[in-house]
Amino acid sequence: MAEVRAEMVANVWKVLVAEGDTVEDGDTLVILESMKMEIPVIAEDDGVVVQLKVAEGDVIQEGDVIAVIE
């Protein structure tokens, strides 16, 4: 099980996966936006998205869990 966490304070601009989706290492899960910069959040393992903790428009803090991949 791998938790994907936010590296910075950001707004969630786009959510590209849903719970239950199968993802591969390198797939973009969500796109964050902070200070006019788009920051893709990438899966670092193959697996299934068992939890997705953010929605488009959310403001997330550094260290917040974005998704859990199993």
Partner 1 sequence: MFESVLVANRGEIARRIIRTVRRMGLRAIAVYSEADADLPFVREADEAILLGPANPAQSYLDAGKVLEAARASGAQAVHPGYGFFSENAGFARAVVDAGLTWIGPSPEAIERMGDKINARNLMEAAGVPVAAGTREPVTELEQAVAAAAGIGYPVMVKAAGGGGGIGMGVAHDEAGLAKAFEQASRAAARFGGPPAILLERYIERARHVEVQILGLADGTVLALGERDCSVQRRHQKVVEETPSPGVTPELRERMLAAAVRAGEAVGYLGAGTVECLVDADRQDFVFLEMNTRLQVEHPVTELVTGVDLVELQLRIAAGEAVEPPPAPRGHAIEFRVYAEDPKRFFPGPGKIDVWEEPSGEGVRVDSGYTGGNTVTPFYDPLMAKLCVYGETRDEALERAGKAVAGFLVEGPKNNLPFCAELLAHPEFVGGGYDTGLVARMRA
Residues found near partner 1 in the complex (CB under 8 A)? 7-11, 33-37, 39, 59
Least gap, CB of 6 to partner 1 (angstroms): 11
The residue among 11 and 51 lying less far from partner 1, judged by its C-beta, is 11
Helix-strand-coil split of the chain, %, nearest 5: 0, 55, 45
Toward partner 1, which CB reaches closer, 33 or 45? 33
Whichever of 47 and 65 has its CB closer to partner 1, that residue is 65
Residue with tokens 């428009």: 57
Burial class (CB in 10 A: 0-12, 13-18, 19+), 22: exposed
